[in-house]
A and B are shown apart, each in its own frame.
Chain A
Amino acid sequence: MTKLDDLLAYEVVEGLTEGQFTAEEYVISILKRIEEVEPKVHSFITLDTEGALSSAKIIDKKIREKEDIGQLAGVTVGIKDNISTQGIRTTCASKILENYVPTYDATVIRNLKENGAILLGKLNLDEFGMGSTTEYSRYRPTHNPWNLDYVPGGSSGGSGAAVAAGECTVALGSDTGGSIRCPSSFCSVVGLKPTYGRVSRSGLISYANSLEQIGPICRSVKDLVMMLNIISGKDAMDNTSMPSSPITVPNKSNKLNVAVIRELITGSDQEVAKSVFSASEKFQEIGFSCEEVSIKNLHYALPSYYTLASAEASSNLARYDNIRYGFDYPIGEYKWDTYFSNVRENFGEEVKRRILIGSYVLSSGYYGKYYLKARRLRSLLRLELLTLFKKYDLLIGPTMPILPFKFGEKIDDPIKMYLVDVNTVIANLAGIPAISLPIGFSNGLPIGLQIMAAPFEEQKLIDASYELEKVIHIQRRPNSI
């Protein structure tokens, strides 16, 4: 029998219902696992051991009393530390929120709790989600469980690493420009950025509101669907959320039309490109049609993304003025002209850089030149993609153009760092769903396939991912740690 801490989410629910083990036993096995690997991986910022154990006991009691335990009963969930959890410190990996304890739960957290999920704690990220490696966390970086010298990807690096290392059954991440898919690819797990509006953002601490979504990171497509169905839906607390129909798996699926995005292949490392080609061959073997397409406006994606994301960030982060909550700030320096700039010294370098860029592109005289232009390019790209989706069900390419890299390799050059997001930002700009699915390894480093679909066509994404997962068996959890 598989080790308890190695179970997938649906196996946990089955095991509990059938009385193979108790929720408490399962949680203890996970906590032991955390104790074992956390010193090497550093996924967590805050661990809520007591909370997790007491939730487990409540579920066991419900099972004994034959009460309804919910669809995710006993499943342990790690939460990216930019999603608000009532009573549990939520830092965004920033010093500016080091003492902030939310007074309310994000809608997705309420959904999870109502379905019996057990919250384990809060997972590491790049400060406010700005980064692709977790090196910009103001606490410490998370290490890639497949090779501890390598970055786990970001910004939801804590979520990707924790799921791969078996420190939680599943995790929630958030994705503004690839923050779920990048660590999923680098850590060989499955991660989905849902259609914009499918999942409520209420309680997600905003980095760039018009681009981001909360999404699940799991070790199987089936787990991912369980999570997605529970967090999806129109929410009265988010005016941008929309109703959607639940996803079924396995689903009696049609043969889908797939197209490989040419530019994403030519821009990738050879090893990565090779893996993607072999995945597209697998698609053909299972009866999908597979062609190549070109996206004309693709080169606008990255500049458009960084302009818009920074603009929104500069405004979103203005509230961290240390007046209503914050950190210890030496009293006696509350001078009108300097107060705001002084307290905001406490942001990290990357965050400051994006606030500066964002303020610049919004300032009068530059708005038309940068911000407005970026918005137009965004619409152009979205329109082009929607046209392509009239012909193809799915667009595929590598999630990341490169393999995971070592710590410190790109941190000194922001432009180099921004370039790794080139494949993922497309889906955020267009508001479409995109998944990253493990498809192979090169020198022991994971490679992920990105699949994109038209808005609210998650079912197609899942169908293709589920079929592919069946024919290519890729390890989801390293043996080394």
Chain B
Amino acid sequence: MIGLEIHAQITALNSKLFCSCRGNYRDLRPNSNICEICCGLPGSLPIINQKAIEYSTMTSIALGCKVPDKIMFYRKNYFYPDLPKNFQITQYNVYGISSIGIDGKYELDEAKQIRISRIQLEEDPGRIVYSEGGMNVGNTALIDYNRAGVALIEIVTEPDFTSPKEVRQFLNKLSLTLEHLGVCDTLLEGSVRCDVNVSMNGGNKVEIKNINSFKEVEKAINYEITRQSSVYNRNLNIELETRHWDDKKKITFKARSKEEEHDYRYFPEPDIPVIVLGSDFVANLKQRMPELPNQRFERFILKYKLSEHTSNILINDKKLADFFESTLKLHFSPTEIANILVTDFKSLIEDDTESTDYLKNLKVKPEHIAELAKLIEGNKISRITAKDILVKIFESGKLPSEVVNSSNSYKIADEKTIMDAVQSVFDTEKSAVEDAKKNREAINFLLGKVMKFTNGRADPKIAMRLINSKLSDPEKQ
């Protein structure tokens, strides 16, 4: 059995959860994005960020959770140098419901659902930077509070996963949902973290903490399954313990025992009054909530008449799907444009999809693709030429018409010119011509030669017709 505890920062927010410091703390000088509140200076009080409540509610709705009428915050008390107040403001459901979402169900695929036990809104601690060699070796630990107070959404699942593959499937889907909601850019460094509970063969539960990206989660689980199996096979007990994931060595290791023995002494945060959301709040939010991936998928099929396969490729890359729809606004030709994007376009960007805003940095914009589609549809260029032109646009950022003009790439529709090409192919490929007479399959070879002869510019339909008529009418040879 595997269960997850996911922490996703609400990267969409301009400010932190309880103060006006920047929500995006990345690439800033250490301890420059701090104030009295997020540093927990004496006398400062938390001021709740209303937007954070909206984003966490949307996430709860998207994950099929119930959103209560009232929410509260709790203090979770523990000493840790990265925690400025030595308590974390979070939510807690033991003494009545307080958290933003509960009892959710999230569909993994048609056959399987994962139960979500709760979703809560809380603050991120600061960051401890250890000297070379890590926390157990070095002599110094530096603390950077720039991250302290950033809004986090914690998503806790029931132990419903039975394989690392299911976990990966879930995390991919979750990332896509968070991205569609605009809540979290999961590709940003440190924006998502995951704790995993693994228990096998009815043994004790082992918690793996601090897995700092979704990609590492599957590896950590695989490692832990192997480790637990080997312990089990030696007839040893699997200890109830907390382990950490070392993403350099790719192993889990036992945490210091002190870290496990916590009594967090939860109690209601007195500085934030109970927040009454009311049923209108959820209903209104549902109205103006961004479209979720599965809704978009259905719309692509219904409205654009795309295949499930094509729709899936687009939806699974939100930025590509957005690009697709921007292009449609300029020129409504869903099939042609989707075709360009999921094949040639995607093959050209494949290596860059890891970076967060790879499409923004491209020289190719929706205008380019719209024009390219028009040229293809207007029979001005062939699909083969289109691919070459796309490569040139990627390099230069010029509009397709410019590229076509300057490289003389317009499709050749003039029968005489194509006939000349066919003639010269027939002249040089005598044996292939003989084959083709007996075996119609070999015609494609001749067509290929004609296309090559014209640098892909010949209208393939005309070429095919001419080849056919030439084969059946030997006179013309």
- The residues of A with any CB-CB pair to B shorter than 8 Å are 82-84, 90, 92, 97, 100, 102-104, 106, 201-206, 208-210, 236-240, 311-312, 314-315, 318-319, 321, 323-325, 336-337, 340, 359, 362-364, 367, 371-372
Assess the B47–A372 pair: CB atoms within 8 A.
Answer: no
Assess the A319–B42 pair: CB atoms within 8 A.
Answer: yes
B281 at the binding interface (Cβ < 8 Å): no
Residue in B42, B46, B95, B273 whose CB lies within 8 Å of A205: B42
Q: How far is the CA of A24 from the CA of B198 in the complex (A)?
A: 73
- Given A315-B87, A318-B85, A367-B267, A202:B75 Cβ within 8 A: no
Rounded to whole Å, the gap between the CB of B222 and the closest CB of chain A is 31
Q: How far is the CA of A319 from the CA of B42 in the complex (A)?
A: 8
Q: How far is the CA of A249 from the CA of B110 in the complex (A)?
A: 72
Rounded to whole Å, the gap between the CB of A428 and the closest CB of chain B is 12
Assess the B273–A202 pair: CB atoms within 8 A.
Answer: no
Q: How far is the CA of A84 from the CA of B84 in the complex (A)?
A: 18
Residue in B47, B75, B265, B273 whose CB lies within 8 Å of A363: B265
Assess the B81–A323 pair: CB atoms within 8 A.
Answer: yes
Assess the B42–A239 pair: CB atoms within 8 A.
Answer: no
* The 8 A-B residue pairs with the shortest CB-CB distance in the complex, in nearest-first order: A318-B86, A210-B270, A362-B265, A209-B270, A205-B42, A203-B43, A84-B43, A205-B43
In the complex, which residues of chain A have a beta carbon less than 8 angstroms from the beta carbon of B272? Answer: 239-240
Rounded to whole Å, the gap between the CB of B128 and the closest CB of chain A is 11
Residue in A closest to B87 when the chains form the complex, CB atoms: A315
B194 at the binding interface (Cβ < 8 Å): no
Rounded to whole Å, the gap between the CB of B106 and the closest CB of chain A is 31
Assess the A364–B263 pair: CB atoms within 8 A.
Answer: yes
Q: How far is the CA of A90 from the CA of B40 in the complex (A)?
A: 15
Residue in B39, B44, B81, B95 whose CB lies within 8 Å of A372: B95
Q: How far is the CA of A102 from the CA of B79 in the complex (A)?
A: 23
Known interface pairs A201-B45, A203-B43, A364-B265; 19 further A-B residue pairs with C-beta atoms within 8 A, sorted by A's residue number: A82-B43, A100-B42, A104-B41, A104-B44, A202-B44, A209-B271, A236-B47, A238-B47, A240-B45, A315-B87, A315-B265, A321-B86, A324-B41, A325-B41, A362-B77, A362-B266, A364-B263, A371-B267, A372-B95
Assess the A319–B270 pair: CB atoms within 8 A.
Answer: no
Which range holds the interface residue count of chain B?
20 to 34
Rounded to whole Å, the gap between the CB of A429 and the closest CB of chain B is 13
In the complex, which residues of chain A have a beta carbon less than 8 angstroms from the beta carbon of B39? Answer: 324
B36 at the binding interface (Cβ < 8 Å): yes
In the complex, which residues of chain A have a beta carbon less than 8 angstroms from the beta carbon of B303? Answer: none
15 contacts between A and B (CB under 8 A): A82-B43, A103-B36, A206-B42, A206-B271, A208-B270, A239-B47, A312-B270, A315-B75, A315-B77, A315-B265, A319-B85, A321-B81, A324-B39, A324-B41, A324-B84
Assess the B45–A239 pair: CB atoms within 8 A.
Answer: yes
Rounded to whole Å, the gap between the CB of A354 and the closest CB of chain B is 14
Residues of B243-298 at the interface with A, using a CB-CB cut-off of 8 Å, are 256, 258, 263, 265-267, 270-273
Q: How far is the CA of A240 from the CA of B41 in the complex (A)?
A: 18
- Given A209-B270, A318-B85, A324-B84, A102:B41 Cβ within 8 A: yes
Assess the A315–B267 pair: CB atoms within 8 A.
Answer: yes
Residue in A90, A239, A315, A363 whose CB lies within 8 Å of B263: A363
Assess the B87–A102 pair: CB atoms within 8 A.
Answer: no
B143 at the binding interface (Cβ < 8 Å): yes
Assess the B45–A84 pair: CB atoms within 8 A.
Answer: no
Residue in A closest to B272 when the chains form the complex, CB atoms: A239
Assess the A202–B258 pair: CB atoms within 8 A.
Answer: no
B48 at the binding interface (Cβ < 8 Å): yes
- The residues of B with any CB-CB pair to A shorter than 8 Å are 36, 39-48, 75, 77, 79, 81, 84-87, 95, 143, 256, 258, 263, 265-267, 270-273
In the complex, which residues of chain B have a beta carbon less than 8 angstroms from the beta carbon of A201? Answer: 43, 45
B-side interface mostly? loop
Residue in B closest to A197 when the chains form the complex, CB atoms: B273
Residue in A202, A325, A371 whose CB lies within 8 Å of B45: A202
Assess the B267–A318 pair: CB atoms within 8 A.
Answer: no
Assess the B42–A97 pair: CB atoms within 8 A.
Answer: yes
In the complex, which residues of chain A have a beta carbon less than 8 angstroms from the beta carbon of B258? Answer: 336-337
A-side interface mostly? loop
- Given A323-B81, A362-B77, A318:B87 Cβ within 8 A: yes
Assess the A311–B41 pair: CB atoms within 8 A.
Answer: no
Q: Which residue of B40, B267, B272 has the most chain A CB atoms within 10 A of its CB atom? A: B267
Assess the B47–A237 pair: CB atoms within 8 A.
Answer: yes
Residue in A closest to B75 when the chains form the complex, CB atoms: A315
Rounded to whole Å, the gap between the CB of A27 and the closest CB of chain B is 27
In the complex, which residues of chain A have a beta carbon less than 8 angstroms from the beta carbon of B40? Answer: 319, 324
Assess the B84–A362 pair: CB atoms within 8 A.
Answer: no
In the complex, which residues of chain A have a beta carbon less than 8 angstroms from the beta carbon of B267? Answer: 311-312, 315, 362, 367, 371
In the complex, which residues of chain B have a beta carbon less than 8 angstroms from the beta carbon of A371? Answer: 267
Q: How far is the CA of A206 from the CA of B125 in the complex (A)?
A: 21
- Given A319-B84, A367-B267, A90:B42 Cβ within 8 A: yes
Residue in B45, B95, B256 whose CB lies within 8 Å of A238: B45
Q: How far is the CA of A205 from the CA of B41 in the complex (A)?
A: 9
In the complex, which residues of chain A have a beta carbon less than 8 angstroms from the beta carbon of B79? Answer: 318, 321, 340
Rounded to whole Å, the gap between the CB of A400 and the closest CB of chain B is 27
Rounded to whole Å, the gap between the CB of A337 and the closest CB of chain B is 6
Assess the B41–A239 pair: CB atoms within 8 A.
Answer: no
Assess the B81–A84 pair: CB atoms within 8 A.
Answer: no
Q: How far is the CA of A84 from the CA of B263 in the complex (A)?
A: 32
In the complex, which residues of chain A have a beta carbon less than 8 angstroms from the beta carbon of B95? Answer: 367, 372
Assess the A206–B265 pair: CB atoms within 8 A.
Answer: no
Assess the B86–A84 pair: CB atoms within 8 A.
Answer: no
In the complex, which residues of chain B have a beta carbon less than 8 angstroms from the beta carbon of A238? Answer: 45, 47, 271
Assess the B42–A84 pair: CB atoms within 8 A.
Answer: yes
Q: How far is the CA of A237 from the CA of B272 in the complex (A)?
A: 11
Assess the B271–A204 pair: CB atoms within 8 A.
Answer: no
Residue in B36, B84, B270 whose CB lies within 8 Å of A104: B36
Assess the A102–B85 pair: CB atoms within 8 A.
Answer: no
Assess the A359–B265 pair: CB atoms within 8 A.
Answer: yes
Q: How far is the CA of A30 from the CA of B50 in the complex (A)?
A: 47
In the complex, which residues of chain A have a beta carbon less than 8 angstroms from the beta carbon of B45? Answer: 201-202, 237-240
Residue in B86, B263, B265 whose CB lies within 8 Å of A319: B86
Rounded to whole Å, the gap between the CB of A467 and the closest CB of chain B is 35
Q: Which residue of B39, B44, B45, B95 has the most chain A CB atoms within 10 A of its CB atom? A: B45
Assess the B41–A103 pair: CB atoms within 8 A.
Answer: yes
In the complex, which residues of chain B have a beta carbon less than 8 angstroms from the beta carbon of A100? Answer: 42
Q: How far is the CA of A319 from the CA of B40 in the complex (A)?
A: 7
Assess the B263–A102 pair: CB atoms within 8 A.
Answer: no
Assess the A239–B43 pair: CB atoms within 8 A.
Answer: no
